Chains A and B, each alone.
Chain A
Amino acid sequence: MYHLIKKDVIMQKRAIGLSLLFIFFFTFTLSEIGPSGLVVNILAVTYMLALGASAVEDKNNSDLMLVSLPIKKDTIVSSKYISVYIFALYAAFVNYLIYLIVNQLNLPIKVLPFTSGGFFFSIVAVSLFCSITLPLIFKYGFLKSRVISIILFFVFIAGGSTLVDNLSKKEDSILIQKISTLFHSSSDAQIALLLFIPVVIILFVSYLISLNFYKNREF
């Protein structure tokens, strides 16, 4: 599994340089929109790297080579899920580093604030996003599912940031109020757990679907 994740990273070695520029660009341009900017930033970089690896894989129908090697299908599928998180953590880490440097040196530039909440929501967003796109990629390959994944990506960015903004503004709708009271009455850890459990379940179900798709795919 380690070797497959390493493979995804090696294949994206050039894109990783590009992604650094991306992060820098986003951290300045998105700094106005607050915590949701971090979610957009991390999701976008993860999208670019993780799906970029799949794109390269699809180009020469390299799945054919991969499944001809003595590798179990569940190893291939689970490695893909883990590489997504590797890329997400990388994006988060770079963001954190920039934030840290700018803050420590008191530089007069505005960058994205790195909050634990923002990080948490980023991971949730990445999880939900890959829960939907990866099964599609495992069933149809990257190229055929590309349009759907792009649409999903923008839905997530638009939807996600609106949601986060609304939540932070605490508008007066009944639902939000109910949620806020729930959130206020619980500790941060409890809220995290409350969100975390369904995400893990969704992720696990997504993995099973992907595995099923991949095992039944005809190459």
Chain B
Amino acid sequence: MNKILEITNLCKNYKDFSIKNVNFSLERGYIMGFIGPNGAGKSTIIKLIMNLIKRDSGNINIFGLDNKKNEIAVKERIGFVYDENHFYEDLTVQEMKNIIRPFYSQWDENLFKRYVKDFGLPSKKQIKHLSKGMKMKFSLAIALSHNAELLLMDEPTSGLDPLIRSELLDVLQSLMQDENKSVFFSTHITSDLDKIADYITLVNNGEVILSKTKEELLEEYCVVKGSKDKLDSNIANRFIGIKENQYGFEALSQNKDEILQYLGDSVIIEKPTLEDIMVFSTRRSDQHVSSY
């Protein structure tokens, strides 16, 4: 068994929101993109993985170990990057690193120095004076300098410019040269994942909508565009989501072959992006987008 992260029947209830029976797993050596709209439960699930909040039921195994029973051993081998800065912002990069360093038995100071150099991190600067991108890079440098096997990131790219996002993707792909490492990466900017993600897990409303390889996804799903007269109820029911406007319709299908068979050349069939899949499958049914 080579699962680096395995979540089974995970539940967590709040008054107005709940994580419902979440199941998915990630193998060693791959990048999983964790997508969903804001408030879908991505951060809650990441907090459950890190045991920052208590699950009501279910199991979370990391490196084959229960994340609660072996909390310290598991956290030794995880690198985390969160969406906000949680470091002490009055301290300098150097001071903060010195505080964190002794807690990781596998800390690699040379590796940290290399990242500081590569990322252009000013080690004498107070964290509060770093730009948002630099704060993320600092967090990433810390996460990668203790030989973590699993890199867990919660919205690391939100609010960052395309240049820094592209740099981050480079770092992740370099990391993936080691086939024992994995990256779990939540984001609502799906274009970051269109290229490099191996697996995609989509959540909405506390539930997993799908979790499979990106290859499978892009092969099964398709975006269909055509004139509205093609859209009878028999066809409409086969779509996952439909957007209509004055001039035609646009829809997502999970079964490309079926659509080809029914509609053939009378419509345009396109390769979907992750954004298409996310938007169409998570749209609330009462909210029908129209161009009026």
Whether B91 contacts A218 by the Cβ 8 Å rule is no
Q: Does B52 contact A (CB under 8 A)?
A: yes
- B257: Cβ under 8 A from any A Cβ: no
Q: Is the CB of A11 within 8 A of B52?
A: no
Q: Are B89 and A67 touching (Cβ within 8 A)?
A: no
The answer to whether residues A69 and B86 also contact, given A10-B91, A10-B95 and a CB cut-off of 8 A, is no
Q: Are A3 and B88 in contact (CB under 8 A)?
A: no
A60-B86 contact, Cβ under 8 Å, with A3-B102, A68-B80, A70-B103: yes
- Chain A contacts with B in 20-64, Cβ cutoff 8 A: 56-57, 59-62, 64
Shortest distance from the beta carbon of A66 to any chain B beta carbon, whole Å: 8
B72 and A70 contacting across the interface, CB-CB below 8 Å = yes
B90 interface contact, C-beta 8 A: yes
Task: Name the residue of chain A whose CB is nearest to the CB of B95.
Answer: A10
Per the CB 8 Å criterion, the residue count for chain B at the interface is: 26
Report the nearest B residue to A73, measured CB to CB: B71
Are A3 and B99 neighbours in the complex by a CB distance under 8 Å?
A: yes
- Shortest A10–chain B CB gap in Å is 6
Whose C-beta in chain B lies nearest to the C-beta of A66?
A: B86
Chain A residues with CB under 8 Å of B52's CB are: 64, 67-68, 218-219
B88 contact set on A, CB distance < 8 A: 11, 56-57, 60, 62
Chain A residues 133 to 184 lying within 8 A of chain B, measured CB to CB, are: none
| CB of A110 within 8 Å of the partner chain | no
> Is B235 close to A, CB under 8 A?
no
In chain A, what residue has the closest Cβ to B128?
A: A60
A61 and B75 form a contact (CB under 8 A) = no
List the A side residues contacting B75 at CB < 8 Å: 68-70
Q: Which A residue sits closest to B78, measured CB to CB?
A: A68
A218-B87 CB under 8 A given contacts A69-B75, A70-B75, A70-B76:
no
Query: CA–CA, A105 to B31, complex, Å?
Result: 71
* B99-112 vs A, Cβ < 8 Å mask (1 yes, 0 no): 11011100000000
> In the complex the two chains form, what is the Cα distance from A71 to B105 in whole Å?
11
The answer to whether B99 and A7 touch across the interface, beta carbons within 8 angstroms, is yes
Q: Are A59 and B76 in contact (CB under 8 A)?
A: no
Q: Does B35 contact A (CB under 8 A)?
A: no
B residues within 8 A CB of A216? Answer: 54
Contact of B86 among A6, A62, A72 (CB under 8 A): A62
Which B residues lie within 8 Å of A218 (CB)? 52-54
- The answer for the CA separation of A103 and B60 in the assembled complex, in Å, is 65
Closest CB pairs A-B (n = 7): A65-B86, A70-B75, A219-B52, A218-B53, A70-B76, A3-B102, A70-B72
A/B interface sample: 9 pairs, CB < 8 A: A3-B99, A11-B91, A60-B86, A60-B87, A62-B88, A67-B50, A68-B52, A69-B100, A70-B73
Question: B72 contacts which of A7, A14, A56, A72 (Cβ < 8 Å)?
Answer: A72
Whether A10 touches B99, Cβ cut-off 8 Å, given contacts A56-B88, A62-B86, A72-B72, is yes
- Chain A residue at minimal CB-CB distance from B76: A70
B243: min CB distance to chain A, Å: 38
Q: A8 → chain B, closest Cβ, in Å?
A: 10
Q: Report the minimal beta-carbon distance from A198 to chain B, rounded to whole angstroms.
A: 34
B82 near A: Cβ within 8 Å? yes
Mask: chain B, 3-21; 1 = CB below 8 Å from A; 0 = not = 0000000000000000000
The docked-state distance in angstroms from the alpha carbon of A151 to that of B175 is 52
* Bound-state Cα–Cα, A60 to B99, Å: 16
CB-CB < 8 A to B73: which residues of A? Answer: 70
- CA gap between A205 and B249 in the complex, in Å: 67
Shortest C-beta distance, A54 to chain B (Å), equals: 12
Q: Contacts A6-B99, A67-B52, A68-B52 given; 20 further ones with Cβ under 8 A?
A: A3-B99, A7-B99, A10-B95, A10-B99, A11-B88, A11-B91, A56-B88, A60-B86, A60-B89, A62-B88, A64-B52, A65-B86, A65-B87, A68-B82, A70-B71, A70-B75, A70-B76, A71-B103, A72-B72, A219-B47
Residue of A nearest to B80 (CB): A68
Scoring A67, A70, A72, A219 by chain B CB atoms within 10 A of each residue's CB, the highest score goes to: A70
Interchain CA distance A72-B99 in the complex, whole Å: 15
Q: How far is the CA of A218 from the CA of B47 in the complex (A)?
A: 9
A69 contact set on B, CB distance < 8 A: 75, 100, 103-104
Q: Which of B25-56 contact A (CB under 8 A)?
A: 47, 50, 52-54
In whole Å, how far is A207's beta carbon from the nearest beta carbon of chain B? 20
